[in-house]
Amino acid sequence: MNSPVDKIKERLSIEEVVSSYIKLEKAGANLKARCPFHNEKTPSFFISPDRGTYYCFGCGASGDIFSFVEEFEGLDFKGALKLLANRAGVILEPYNKEAKEDKGEKEKLYEVMEEASLFFEKNLTKNKEVLEYLKKRGLEDKTIKDFRIGFISIEWHLLYSHLLEKGFSELVIEKAGLVKKTEKGMYDRFRGRIIFPIADSSGRIIAFSGRIFKDDGKSAKYLNSPDTPIFKKSSVLYGLDKAKQFIKKNNFSIMVEGQLDLILSHQAGFRNTVATSGTALVDKDRGENNIINNLGIINRLSQNIIFIFDADKAGLAASIRATPIALALFSDMNVKATEIPEGMDPADLISQKGPDAWRKVIRNSKHIIEFLLDKVLAEKNNDVLKTKLEINNKIVPLLSLISNPVKKSHFISLISNKSRISENDIRERLKKEQEQKYKKEEVKENKEVLKITHRKDYIKRRLLGIILWQKSLKEKVIDFEKILGDLSEILKTTPSQLLEKTKIDEEDLIFEAEVFYGGYTEIGKEVGEMINNLKEEYLKEELECKIGDLHKAEDAKDDILSMKILKECQILNNMIQDIKNNRLKK
């Protein structure tokens, strides 16, 4: 077997990959850690170097280096493959030669975005006025090149015409969010703007943010790509692809707002900086289709984060909005905030005052509760009652998001000392807030369980990929119809219904299967193991539900129903044991 997957696995061990994201400790022949995919205090996440796999006994997450990177970085398989291939020094060659010649929708979108980025970059090199502006803002030639900054002039169809000439369809260009459709036809979404490409965690261009170059008084200063099949605003932070290794290395991240703020921060040596880039932060670590959100990725990389806000009223408003979101996700972390001198943004400060001034701002950061308290006290110092109400209504409730009792007690005392609100009043207000929080907690925990990518979902995806891949080949190496039948039986559906559900992701599933199993001589054996493993997972799930029903019947003192359910539990348990026994015989 000589697939890219095997080449990558030969060069990158499971412990090498996982330890680059989380801290591991020895556990006999294995390694263990606190699971990065769910909150836990005691390590239940185990890595087996011999098998090249991981398994979490807390949430059921499992897989190999590819599934780990997919889950941790919020990437699809192709993104994880690209990232790991680059890291291992493996050159990826075109696959899927015998399957459908047409590329999947997402692949076409990635290609059109890359071509658009190249077009923008080339246009910038031809425009001396824009280049001079960027250099006046403090950007160096290398920085402009590294961040792939581009430009497009004010004409209506420049990019659209270029992409059509390159062979991209009108539908693909529109789906990528590069053009807008009107009754008069298509026109470029980005016109007369400096272009900042936005990349996913593996470095693929997925969106753009355009800053207007010459303000006409009508257009928005910044314009971002709309949501597309490859870009979800809530799942991306600008510059994360470049910052992630430095966040891990320095053990803290710096959060700014604008692209130039981030770029100049990186240029000044603070390469652990990310930017919201006009994207709203969200208070959940996952969003639509289980995609990990912007702060969710930051959460996994470091326990420390510094928000940098402007020193005006808008900055205060932004800090108040961001605080509950940050604390909700980072309840056990060190969330800090700081501000820059009034009338400046980070880009101005760095270009005019230099890296040392920026370093000083970062060093002056405070815990976000103390930062907000000082801001409110400074804003309302002439009206004592108004100040106390503001603190009671906006800052005290935030303490309920801090889980550490020592930290919480510290901030109660701090607020009391600075605001002259009694500690008893603060605790009483906090008690009411916590009562409301606890009512929501059970619902929240139940929802969190649904977000976890379970082992059975991973196995199911692999099997579907093999079925579709084999179905597309002229010369089959395995009976895909039998696999389809077995899988349909386990999932309690029909083969036709199962295939219908895979149409959206068909090309991605085929690609993944071909990369993993192309040229693999023992694919039949592996498929058999996956079928048994999947059957075991569903039987365990069914058994768990039955045990829950049994407890309810016993509580209701329904002996007849209890006996019936108990027999069903025994049957399921025997079926699970048979699978385990057969596995041991092999």
Q: What percent of the chain has pLDDT over 90?
A: 45
Between 111-115, 140-144, 199-203, the lowest mean confidence (pLDDT) is in 199-203
**β-pairing, 253-256 with 304-309?**
parallel
CA–CA dist 240, 245 (Å, integer): 9
HSE-up (13 A, CA, CB side) for residue 521: 2
pLDDT greater than 80 at residue 522: no
The mean pLDDT value of the chain amounts to 85
Between 145-154, 295-304, 525-534, the lowest mean confidence (pLDDT) is in 295-304
Q: Which residues pair with 209 in a beta bridge?
A: 196, 224
Residue 231: per-residue pLDDT? 92
Q: pLDDT digit string (tens) for 461-518?
A: 889 989 998 988 888 888 999 999 999 999 999 999 998 888 877 877 887 787 777 7
pLDDT greater than 50 at residue 525: yes
| Average pLDDT of the residues in 39-62 | 84
Angle between the N-to-C axes of helices 294-301 and 313-329, in degrees from 0 to 180, rounded to the nearest 10: 60
pLDDT band for 450, please (50, 70, 90 cuts): very low
Residue 474: per-residue pLDDT? 84
| Average pLDDT of the residues in 135-150 | 96
Residue 387: per-residue pLDDT? 87
Residue 220: per-residue pLDDT? 87
pLDDT band for 247, please (50, 70, 90 cuts): very high
| Average pLDDT of the residues in 277-302 | 64
| Average pLDDT of the residues in 305-330 | 71
Kindly state the tokens that stand for 367. 């815990």
CA–CA dist 104, 47 (Å, integer): 34
Kindly state the tokens that stand for 115. 């071509």
Residue 171: per-residue pLDDT? 94
Residue 288: per-residue pLDDT? 52
pLDDT greater than 50 at residue 227: yes
Q: Contact 140/350 with Cβ under 8 angstroms?
A: no
pLDDT greater than 60 at residue 444: no
Kindly state the tokens that stand for 357. 């001034």
Residue 441: per-residue pLDDT? 47
pLDDT band for 533, please (50, 70, 90 cuts): confident
Please state the pTM of the whole predicted model.
0.75
| Average pLDDT of the residues in 120-132 | 96
pLDDT greater than 80 at residue 218: yes
Residue 97: per-residue pLDDT? 42
pLDDT greater than 90 at residue 235: no
Report how far apart, in Å, the C-alpha atoms of 351 and of each of 150, 267, 345, 412 are: 20, 10, 10, 39
Kindly state the tokens that stand for 263. 């770029």
pLDDT band for 385, please (50, 70, 90 cuts): confident
When comparing pLDDT for 314 and 22, which is higher? 22
pLDDT greater than 60 at residue 1: no
Residue 261: per-residue pLDDT? 94
Residue 294: per-residue pLDDT? 66
HSE-up (13 A, CA, CB side) for residue 299: 27
CA–CA dist 436, 418 (Å, integer): 27
Question: With 0-12 CB in 10 A as exposed, 13-18 as middle and 19+ as buried, what is 426?
Answer: buried
CA–CA dist 182, 499 (Å, integer): 36
Q: pLDDT digit string (tens) for 273-287?
A: 999 876 656 555 555
Q: What percent of the chain has pLDDT over 70?
A: 86
Q: Of 160, 136, 158, 135, which Cα lies nearest the Cα of 145? A: 135
Contacting residues for 566 by C-beta, under 8 A, at least 6 apart: 550
Q: pLDDT digit string (tens) for 359-379?
A: 999 999 999 899 989 988 887
| Average pLDDT of the residues in 14-29 | 91
Residue 454: per-residue pLDDT? 55
When comparing pLDDT for 547 and 586, which is higher? 547
